[in-house]
Each structure stands twice: as C-alpha cells, then as structure tokens.
Amino acid sequence: MRPSGTNVAPYFLWAVIIVTLACTAAGQKLNPTVMINGFGDLEGTVPGSNLPVCQYTLQRARRFTDSVSFALAVHPFAVDKERLESWTFKDAQGNNVVASKDSVARWQRGLQACFDYAIKIKKFRVLHVLGHWDPLHPVLLRPTTWRNLMNIAPQQKAAGHSYEDVMLQPVVKALNAVSSPSVVVWFSVSGEMGLSNYLHADAWRGVMANTRQQLRRKQWKDVKVATALNWQMFCGCIAAANPEPGSFDPLRYNASFAREFAQVKHYALPYVKSFKLLLSANDFIGISGYGSGYRLKQLSWRDMEVPLQTLAYELGFFGINLKEYTSRKPVIYVEQGLGGVLQYGILPAPDLATVSRYTFSGSWPVGGYKREFDPWQRQDFSAYRRDFYRATVDLLARGKGQQYKLDGVYVWSVGSFDVFGVHPVSSSSEGTFADPAIISMIKKVNGVS
C-alpha cells in the first residue's frame, strides 16, 4: 500500500503482520486479512473477548475460508532511505520497542501462539506470511519514507540485528514449532520493498533459499517462498530520488514513466540480470494488486487485470516479460482493496473518481467504526464497491483474464477496506464496514456455504 496519514491504512505507518487468507488450487480464492501491528495484537485481549486480536480475527475469518496468511512487518529506525539505525517493534500503546534478544523472542512467541491457533484450533489449511518493513525517523518518530523506496539489504545489520533476524527467522521458527503435514505454507519474505529487491536481488535470493530450506526441514504439505512487488513503482528506482510533484499519484506517474525512466536508465539497467534471477527463484508471483483508474461504470473481470498490466508495462522498459513468469507460476494479489477515502486522509472521498484513483487510500479507525468516516454510506460508493468485488470474483471464477491468470486475492481487511468485518476496529455499536452482499459473492466463489 502507498504512504498514508495517521489513521489511514498504512504503507509505512505500522509494523504489520497481515494475516491474509491464502489460496492454492485446493484452497479458497478471495479471503480476508488479519492485521497484526505489534505486541498489542499478539498479547492481551479484545474487549468482550478472551482472545488477542490475531486469534479473534482468525476466529471471525474462519467463516469465509480455510486458508490464512500472516504478513509481518517491523519498524526500521532510519534517518533517510539508506541510513539505518536499529529495528523496533510496536507495543500495545504504540511505543517502539528496540529489537533485542528478549524482544525478538517475545515476538516469536506471540507469532507461534497465533500460528498454533490457526492450525490446531481453527483448522486452517493454508498459511501465507507477508513481510513488511515500515521505516520511522528515530527522532521525529514519523514515517521516513514509503517502504518501497528503502535501500537496505535483508541481512544488513543495525544495532546488532537485520531484517532477517527480526522478521524472517522469527517467522520460520514460529511456523516450524507448530508444523503440520496437512498445511501449505506460502511466505512472501518481502512486500512492496521494491528498491531493496532490485538493488540487492542476490541477497534476497540467498535469504529466500535459506528460508525455504529451513521450512522444508519440517513436515508441511508444501512450502512456497517469494518476494512480492507493488503493482506500480515495482523497483522503487523511478521517480524516487527526486520525484516530480504528484509522482505518487498513480495515473500521473504512469503517464510520466517513460520520461522518468530515461533519466535513470543508465543507473538502473545494470541490475536487471540479478533481478531476473530473483524473479525466476520465486515460487509464485506476488503483487500488491490495488490498481488505479478503474472505470466508474460497468466494471468487468477484464478491468481487474489493471495491476498486472501496469506491472508488465513497467517491466517492459527493463527488458523483462512478465508473462515468462506468470505462465509458469501461481499469481497472487497479496494485497487488494478499495478504501473509499480522500487521498491519504480519513474522510470519505468526494466522488467516485477519487475512490477509483486512490483504491489504496482507506481509514483505519483507532477507536472503532464511526459512521461519519464510513464512505460506504453513500449509495453510489456502496454500489461501486459491490461492482468492484463482483468483477474480482468473476475473474477468479474464470481463473484467467485476457492476458494473465489470477489464482488468488487477499483483501486488506481493516477499517474502510474490511468488507468482511473481521477486524475488531471495523465494527462498533454505530455499525460496520462489512457488506453482506459482497460476503455472499465471496463465499460463493470460495465454495463456502
């Protein structure tokens, strides 16, 4: 997801473990996401429940699917996109807990308990883990930049720890502690971390191989490991160092891509060979599949290829043919959603054009659902959201679009994105962001009664 404001579904605001419901040929196709933002979601309990946020959300999600994904993210303290000082986790109050032997072990214990609940209690059969880092300035304690623009390597140490130490190893150890021969594990070791993937492709290929090898030491039905890209700005290297005004506007960025690529071409192309090897090493193609500029009327399954088409357009400038990879590997939207909120704000969008243009902009209400922040109270917005998911369901039911196949979609499920109503903050006595009509469509394509 793109950079967002304080109470908005984040690109870099929170360290997130997203539990996104995963898909295989035998699993469901369109599933919720369980958001885990720190220790507060792994410990303590949801009011009125005896479960932490993770287990509470899993309990609600099980009504729609038997597949679940856990996407983790941690906070690097970074002065800018390259100068890394330390790694941190969030506690229940939103304070930063610096990575140490004890805090990493605490993180791992919380994850293990959540994975264990998913497998042994709720009987999920597919687990997908999506890794994120969300950089914060160590003094100002505000987002340094969007994670996609961070130039740090997965094994780069800061204050004694690396991303591999605080993210990948705790996940692997927590999973392996509760392994089951009836469960498939999909692990996106990175999500929307394009500049790092592109400039440090060989390092990512190495940690992927190590992660895959460690997971396969235990009894799992299958293990798949990959790096997941954003649908746009896949490498983080175009319009990143000195972006034009509005370059984060997806449609303006697309229109100016050729011109901006020409300015950095001689710097970017030497990394293509290693990046292609990284794509080949992926067991699946994972994409944050939000897209932008969808038609405002008569959305169809053909429109839902926009994220893949946009990614293919960009890759073409680098001499990379996306179809060479999608034809041989499963294709997953590891994130997708429709937020309905004014760009990087919390108030509902003013019109449908804004909803369509900034699909990734949604509210994440800290105090729970509030009617005044619900964009779907507008009848035309609500109808559009239903059309959006009807088109997505139609594409998934077909299995293949005009150019690309699509094997599964994981819906961002918190606040105004949460069509399922699985997250605790997505509902309150005032109402809910959930939509029963969309739920009915999704249950049908998932084969759930």
Give the CA distances from residue 345 to residues 95, 296, 306, 376, 378, in Å, rounded to whole numbers and listed in that order.
Answer: 22, 21, 24, 16, 18
pLDDT, residue 217, reads: 96
pLDDT, residue 24, reads: 43
What is the token pair recorded at 75? 């906070």
pLDDT, residue 240, reads: 54
What is the token pair recorded at 158? 């800061």
- Cβ atoms of 142 and 84 closer than 8 Å: no
3-state secondary structure of 411: strand
Rounded to whole angstroms, the Cα distance separating 47 from 56 reads 10
Rounded to whole angstroms, the Cα distance separating 342 from 355 reads 8
Rounded to whole angstroms, the Cα distance separating 138 from 86 reads 9
Give the CA distances from residue 381 to residues 279, 347, 386, 404, in Å, rounded to whole numbers and listed in that order.
Answer: 37, 14, 9, 28
pLDDT, residue 238, reads: 83
CATH number of the CATH domain containing 216 = 3.20.20
Number of domains in the chain: 1
- Cβ atoms of 135 and 78 closer than 8 Å: yes
Quick count: other Cβ atoms within 10 Å of Cβ 432? 17
The single-letter code of the amino acid at 6 is: T
Q: What is the DSSP letter of 323?
A: H
Residue 288 lies in a domain: yes
pLDDT, residue 414, reads: 92
Residue 11 lies in a domain: no
pLDDT, residue 248, reads: 62
What lies within 8 Å, CB to CB, of 327 at 6+ separation is: none
pLDDT, residue 22, reads: 45
Residue 216 lies in a domain: yes
What is the token pair recorded at 10? 């984040």
- Cβ atoms of 209 and 154 closer than 8 Å: no
Residue 104 lies in a domain: yes
Rounded to whole angstroms, the Cα distance separating 232 from 2 reads 10
What domain range is 99 assigned to?
Answer: 17-446
Residue 9 lies in a domain: no
Per-10-residue mean pLDDT of the chain, 449 residues long, equals 43 40 55 86 93 95 87 80 91 92 97 96 93 87 85 95 97 97 96 96 98 97 97 84 54 81 92 98 97 92 95 96 96 95 86 94 88 96 97 92 91 94 94 97 89
- DSSP string computed for 201-236: HHHHHHHHHHHHHHHTTS--SEEEEEEEEESSSTTS
Rounded to whole angstroms, the Cα distance separating 275 from 96 reads 33
Q: Which is nearest to 66 in space by CA: 182, 229, 188, 176? A: 182
Q: Angle, to 10 degrees, between the axis of helix 436-446 and the axis of helix 379-398?
A: 0
pLDDT, residue 245, reads: 37
Residue 3 lies in a domain: no
